[in-house]
Structure 1
Amino acid sequence: MNTLSPFHLAIPVDNLDLARDFYNSTLELEEGRSSDHWVDFDFFGHQLVIHYKQKSDSETKQHNSVDGKEVPVPHFGIILEWEIWQKFANMLSEKNVKFAIEPYIRFKGEVGEQATMFFYDPCGNALEFKSFKDPSQVFAK
């Protein structure tokens, strides 16, 4: 596939006001349309929608072990340019975002060298932001 199309992702949040503030103020995403039950955001050119959904007592956080770190599953995010990822990681650190996995470099000097970090929104949705030193290696084996 040569051209990327914007994706649309809708996620549940149990506190619309808190989540709206996080995506707007902490991540600095531009807000689009909204209603009493949902809010659109420009997620780096993609459409992210937070939808109010009452939290269920049966929802638990799941993880998979990767590189000795507990990676949240499910999670979503975006692949940023290397310099933009660095600036974004610094901005989040300055805003005292609590990382599930602190920003670090995987596969340093190897095929697929990448920067990655994980954190949760205030409603428990896991996000990963990553960057590849060489963007042509996103799917390299």
Structure 2
Amino acid sequence: MTEFKLADGLLDNTRVIAGRYIAHVAVPCRALEEAARWYSEVLGAQPVRILKDRVTFSFGGVLQLVCHLERRATEVNPRAYPRHFGLTFLQNDDFSRMRDHVESLGIKFLVRPVVRFRETPHEHQSFMIADPSGNVVEFKCYVRPENSY
């Protein structure tokens, strides 16, 4: 597999090893190199382990994302709900940088950037995109980070 250039400045991929745990998500992908290129070059995730049947990423340092090779399981017409995963940014600048980067690449939004639950404690910005295998990735940022859970 070739080397991939990370999308610059989008995610802090410093692996968190001092805490008690990190989140782990596994998704199917139709081609490992395609997944590795998309997650690293489009979203800035750091490939940390590449095996013959999977590629593992540090996704912002807080999520271990594993793309498993499974040609049969890819979604031709992805839908935003119910199945998706993503990152919740704690700083609006980081959210805006990711949104602007995705827009600059011409990636189609499954859910265009929107403010949800306006004028409530749970108000946040959100958008969703799909990877080449149809896995849906959501990015969001709450007005009040303490309400992110």
TM-score, structure 2 normalization: 0.78
The answer on 1:38 being equivalent to 2:54 is: yes
Gaps of 5+ in 2: 1-18
Alpha-carbon displacement from aligned partner over 1:90-125 (angstroms, at most 9, x marks no partner): 011111111101111112332211010011000010
Return the match for 1:80 from 89, 107, 125.
89
After superposition, where does 1:99-110 map in structure 2 within 5 Å? 99-110=109-120
The match for 1:55 is 72
The answer on 1:117 being equivalent to 2:134 is: no
Structure 1 distance, partners of 2:93, 2:52, is 37
Bigger strand share: 1
Report the AA paired with residue 109 of structure 1.
E
8 Å CA contact 2:115, 2:124 repeated in 1: yes
Closer, same or farther in 2 for the Cα pair 1:99/1:4, shift >3 Å? farther
Gaps of 5+ in 1: 64-70
Alpha-carbon displacement from aligned partner over 1:25-44 (angstroms, at most 9, x marks no partner): 11111110111111111111
The answer on 1:95 being equivalent to 2:100 is: no
Alpha-carbon displacement from aligned partner over 1:1-34 (angstroms, at most 9, x marks no partner): xx88311111110121211111011111111011
8 Å CA contact 1:62, 1:73 repeated in 2: no
8 Å CA contact 2:78, 2:136 repeated in 1: no
Closer, same or farther in 2 for the Cα pair 1:32/1:100, shift >3 Å? same
